[in-house]
A = this chain, B = another copy of it.
Amino acid sequence: MLQPVSIYPSKSACSSCNLAELCLPPDLTREELLKLDELSTLKRTFSRSDYLYRSGDKFRSLFAIRSGSFKTQILHEDGREQITGFQMAGEIIGLDAISTDIHACEAVAMESSEVCELPFNKLEALSREIPSLQRHLHKIMSREIVRDQGIMLLLGSMRAEERLAAFLLNLSQRFATRGLSGTQFQLCMSRQEIGSYLGLKLETVSRAFSHFQTEGLINVKVRTIEIINLEGLRASLNHSR
């Protein structure tokens, strides 16, 4: 699942690497694009359940996901773990480590995946030279903050089915952005992982899936999802307690 896609095909001058989000600044010169390209020479591949980095690792680079997908999770000392996100092609991962130069969470491949390593020192140097790259880097970090706060809203004030609806709609939207179907897709994570992300137990996730199916909102066959009634799903987001 999750085939490699260039999100911004028209701007994909970056040959060595699909820099995706990083390629967004719209006003780069040919020369600047070349410099960006030089930055991202290291490409690495991962198989399912390989670690991209672990909590406690020294921070050196951000990573641009070229293909595949990862999960990021925090571990509490007493064994609890919380998945903080599922990242897919075109997204930048590792931002949390800038703060202390130590990775605060760990990133695990959900399937065969490729990343481009972006040495952060070089990225900072380049962004001092290219204001639009600087602004773009800031936007990426800010976007992560906004995303995280959205999840706080979800975890703090939504009921189980609302959380799952929000999750499915978010996936749908991200697949669509990548030129894939927004209504039919494969999940690459287990019920347990979805539950960890949404603050629910796996049985609750399973029941919510079943309920959406009996309501005629979706078809579920284990990890194959078909959204039948997108509007209905959206509506089920607004039933507050």
Query: Quick check: B98 and A149 within 8 Å, CB to CB?
Result: no
CA distance A138 to B141 in the complex (A): 8
> A153 contacts B79, CB within 8 Å?
no
Contact check, A79 vs B141: say whether CB atoms are below 8 A apart: no
* Contact call B145/A141, Cβ cutoff below 8 A: yes
Bound Cα distance A97, B18 (Å): 26
B199 in contact with A156 (CB, 8 Å): yes
Complex contact B124–A138 (CB within 8 A): yes
Chain copies in complex = 2
Q: Given B76, B138, B153, which contacts A153 in the complex, CB threshold below 8 Å? A: B76
**CB-defined contacts of A184 to chain B, threshold 8 Å:** none
A31-39, A128-136, A170-178: which one contacts chain B? Answer: A128-136
Shortest CB–CB separation between residue A102 and chain B, in angstroms?
10
Knowing A134-B124, A135-B124, A238-B78 are in contact, say whether A96-B155 is a contact too (CB < 8 A).
no
Decide: A149 near B74, CB < 8 A? Known: A141-B141, A141-B142, A157-B80.
yes
Q: Which residues of B contact A155 (CB under 8 A)?
A: 152, 155-156, 199
Q: Is the CB of B138 within 8 A of A98?
A: yes
For the complex, give the distance between the alpha carbons of A144 and B152 in Å: 13
- Which residues of B are found within 8 Å of A137, using beta-carbon distances? 138
Q: Which residues of A73-87 have CB atoms within 8 Å of chain B's CB atoms?
A: 74, 76-82, 84
> How far in angstroms is the closest Cβ of chain B from A166?
11
| A222 located at the interface, meaning its Cβ lies under 8 Å from any Cβ of chain B in the complex | no
Q: How far is the CA of A228 from the CA of B105 in the complex (A)?
A: 32
Minimal Cβ-Cβ distance residue in B for A150: B74
A29 in the interface (beta carbon within 8 A): no
**A143: CB under 8 A from chain B?**
yes
